[in-house]
């Protein structure tokens, strides 16, 4: 999971509205105290979502995300999520970038496996 988290930190965190930046350099997450980024909380489930969908349509990924992650999120009440409706959920805002980062890590892992002759 660390490779996924590192890729997400490199790709997503610097463009996140909640990021604390020093010039162009990402310093830390600026979410309020007591609130943790859902990308970190639900990372294993998010990776499963991205790896389970084979589609060119982001809508297909989002539908599975809502079913597998959002439905069990502490900030969600069934189909209603106040954070998502207020565009205040980092996972919802940046899911496309998160999915791209996960796909890139998977591609790197597959390339290494193929190079090493691992089926």
Q: 25-46 burial, b for 16+ CB within 10 Å, e for fewer?
A: ebeebebeeeeebbbeebbebb
Q: At what angle do helices 58-68 and 90-115 cross, to 10 degrees?
A: 110
Q: What is the pLDDT along the chain (119 residues), one digit of tens a residue?
A: 999 999 999 999 999 999 999 999 999 999 999 889 999 999 999 999 999 999 999 999 999 999 999 988 888 776 778 888 888 899 999 999 999 999 999 999 999 887 877 66
Distance between CA atoms of residues 41 and 85, nearest Å: 20
Domain ranges across the chain: 2-115
pLDDT at res. 118: 65
Q: How far, in Å, CA of 107 to CA of 34, rounded?
A: 34
Best CA proximity match to 17, nearest among 89, 97, 85? 89
User: pTM of the full predicted structure?
Assistant: 0.88
């Amino acid at each position: 999971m660390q490779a996924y988290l590192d890729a997400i930190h490199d790709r997503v965190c610097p463009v996140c509205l909640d990021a604390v930046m020093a010039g162009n350099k990402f310093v830390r997450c600026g979410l309020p105290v007591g609130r943790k980024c859902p990308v970190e909380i639900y990372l294993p489930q998010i990776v499963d979502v991205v790896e389970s969908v084979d589609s060119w349509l982001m809508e297909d990924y989002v539908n599975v995300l809502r079913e597998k992650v959002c439905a069990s999120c502490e900030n969600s009440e069934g189909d209603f999520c106040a954070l998502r409706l207020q565009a205040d959920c980092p996972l919802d805002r940046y899911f496309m970038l998160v999915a791209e980062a996960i796909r890139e890590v998977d591609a790197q892992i597959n390339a290494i496996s193929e190079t090493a002759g691992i089926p």
